[in-house]
Amino acid sequence: MTGDKPTMGADPFERNWMRFSIGLLLVFAAVITVAAFAMGFAVPGEHERVDPRTVTQSGPFATPGVKEIGPGEFEAYVVSRTFAFDPAEIVIPQGAKVTIYVTSVDVQHGFKITDTNVNMQVVPGHVSKLSYTFDRIGVFPYICTEYCGIAHAAMSGTVKVVPADEFEGGGA
Ligand code: CUA
């Protein structure tokens, strides 16, 4: 029975299946690679990774606060630490579109601005980012929403939205 067809390797049908299987494996590997890569940059609210031990030594978190980056456009950098936000006050003119960046130098905190949809988790090593346009004049407290220790409930600050003609620029 042996030796009737001394073919080298597999028959064409089997060879096609092998090609198909290898192709499938390559597709899976590609999908996993792409998914892992993409997911690393797609965590909601996450802007970028930072080192919580050095994040306040240089770069924008070294001088937290709000600044105008264009007409009516602002950037606010906020450092969270037990049990305070730095800065504790953000002053902006009515209608300001503010992109808020928040990070933590110690444990996990939350950052929620009352009466807005700004509500972020703040995780050490990460920068959370959200933009919001403040159309209403008033005082909007921001609070920590993640239990972070004994004085968690006292961890807060305020956004003050003032009439545009009263705004002096740069914040408090
Ligand atoms: Cu910070 Cu609770």
pLDDT tens figures, 38-92: 554 444 455 578 999 999 999 999 999 999 999 999 999 999 999 999 999 999 9
Q: Extract the tokens encoding 84.
A: 């305070």
Taking CB atoms within 8 Å and a gap of at least 24, the contacts of 71-78 are: 72/96, 72/97, 73/97, 73/98, 73/99, 74/98, 74/99, 75/99, 75/101, 76/100, 76/101, 77/101, 77/102, 78/102, 78/103, 78/111, 78/157
Residue 34: pLDDT over 70: no
Give the single-character DSSP code of 89.
Answer: E
Question: What radius of gyration, in Å, describes the C-alpha atoms of the chain?
Answer: 26
pLDDT score, position 40? 47
pLDDT score, position 170? 46
Q: Please indicate whether residue 155, judged by its CB atom, sits closer than 6 Å to ligand 1.
A: yes
pLDDT score, position 23? 76
The beta strand positions in the chain, using DSSP E, are 46-49, 65-70, 73-81, 84-86, 89-93, 96-104, 109-113, 119-122, 126-134, 138-143, 156-162
Question: How much distance in Å is there from the Cα of 100 to the middle of ligand 1?
Answer: 17
Residue 171: pLDDT over 50: no
The confidence band for 172, taking pLDDT boundaries of 50, 70 and 90, is very low
Q: Which residue, chain included where needed, has tokens 């037990």?
A: 82
Q: Please indicate whether residue 28, judged by its CB atom, sits closer than 6 Å to ligand 1.
A: no
Q: Please indicate whether residue 105, judged by its CB atom, sits closer than 6 Å to ligand 1.
A: no
Averaged pLDDT, 97-111: 97
Q: Please indicate whether residue 144, judged by its CB atom, sits closer than 6 Å to ligand 1.
A: yes
Q: Name the residue with the closest Cα to ligand 1, atom 1.
A: 109
